[in-house]
Amino acid sequence: MNQTDTRLRVISYNIHGGLGTDGIHSYERIGRWLAERGADIALLQEFDTRSQQRDTVADIQALCRDHFQQLLPSPTVTTAHGWYGNAILTRYPVQEVHTIDTSQRGLEPRNIQQATLQTPSGTLQVINTHNGLQRIERK
């Protein structure tokens, strides 16, 4: 893109905890894929840092690489070993972040993540969520 191009590339991606269809867990591969596509903002679902077999800090660094400035977590589940939920990766400064709990009793915890970003084109609000597939979760 040239200097006057004001397009933004936003990608929404259910990363399934970083597990690929080949059975290999790699946040680095996801980060590389996002960077290769020129993502300015990535709205991620099923982000999982709870594994004791992995280095969470290294996972996040590999995902962000030199491409994204910030990772904005929005956990739906938090344990002593980490968190699981949604996250936003952004190349732009963050003005505000909010999480709205939309969980329903007896169902998997859910939330809506909202972030206000300062882009070269001005202020942008992005919303990230992960809905369940059951009819009751989509009301």
For the chain, which residues make up each domain, given as ranges?
A: 10-138
Class of domain 10-138: alpha beta
The Cα 38–Cα 99 span in angstroms is 26
The encoded tokens of residue 92 equal: 């732009």
| pLDDT string in tens for the chain (139-residue length) | 455 667 899 999 999 999 999 999 899 999 999 999 999 999 999 999 998 788 888 888 888 988 999 999 999 999 998 999 999 999 999 999 999 999 989 889 999 999 999 999 999 999 999 987 666 666 6
pLDDT of residue 137: 63
Distances (CA, A) of 127 to 4, 92, 123: 26, 15, 14
